[in-house]
Chains A and B, each alone.
Chain A
Amino acid sequence: AQTVTQSQPEMSVQEAETVTLSCTYDTSESNYYLFWYKQPPSRQMILVIRQEAYKQQNATENRFSVNFQKAAKSFSLKISDSQLGDTAMYFCAFMRGTGANNLFFGTGTRLTVIP
């Protein structure tokens, strides 16, 4: 079974500053994918960034980057130059490498960007 743990229920950051959201996971799979999804107050989940477990290089998408530590089963999200529009719930999610591409989610971190 896969579990995803987000230990920070809430975080805040000043506009233009950098914030890091933590995520750990547990799995016996060797091939898998990890994702960060954003859920703004409008409630639609939006993909932020994804990481293939077989890639050593950390994924980056503009202001968003991850620190993927496979041995430690850690997958943190760094948001640089935080903007007011980054205010949302952030969910870390795990997908097995084979079979149904179903997602297993953590409990989320509520991020507030303060003007």
Chain B
Amino acid sequence: DTGVSQNPRHKITKRGQNVTFRCDPISEHNRLYWYRQTLGQGPEFLTYFQNEAQLEKSRLLSDRFSAERPKGSFSTLEIQRTEQGDSAMYLCASSPRRGVDNSPLHFGNGTRLTVT
């Protein structure tokens, strides 16, 4: 169990640019989640995948945001035309299918995005 891996750890970009983050979940986990966390707040749910299917999206996920998990393994989160309000920590988490240990989510270290 190597844990959930996220890259990059930090990203600084200029407003209007596109950014893409990557998440590698724990290998046997088929569920993958993206959260956003702003300073001093708890994580807010963005979207959820079961294998390669994106099953749930939050209203927070505007049309500038897109997430993919093409082969049911790693996932990418892309933000187009970034805005200063997108500055946050983006957390990825994974879990096994429900019923297996009813395991809670395992989180990565996150990608901190700063939009200047």
A interface residue numbers (CB < 8 A to B): 4, 33, 35, 37, 42-47, 50, 52, 91, 93, 95, 98-108
| CB of A53 to closest CB in B, whole Å | 12
- Indicate whether A101 sits within 8 Å of B102 (C-beta atoms), given known contacts A91-B42, A107-B42, A108-B41: yes
B3 to chain A, nearest CB (A): 8
Query: Given the interface contacts A101-B31, A103-B45, does A44 sit within 8 Å of B102 by beta carbon?
Result: no
Give the residue name and chain of the B residue nearest to A104 (CB).
B45
A103 and chain B: residue at smallest CB distance: B105
Given contacts A44-B109, A108-B41, contact A103 B89 (CB under 8 A): no
Bound-complex Cα distance A79 to B95 (A): 26
Give chain B's interface residue range (CB within 8 Å of chain A): 20 to 34
A43-B89, A107-B41 known; A35-B104 Cβ under 8 A: yes
Interface residues of B in 75-110 (CB under 8 A from A): 89, 91, 93, 95, 98, 102-110
Q: List 21 A-B contacts (CB under 8 A).
A: A35-B104, A43-B110, A45-B91, A45-B93, A45-B107, A47-B106, A50-B104, A91-B43, A98-B98, A100-B48, A100-B55, A101-B103, A101-B104, A102-B45, A103-B43, A103-B45, A103-B104, A103-B105, A105-B42, A107-B42, A108-B42
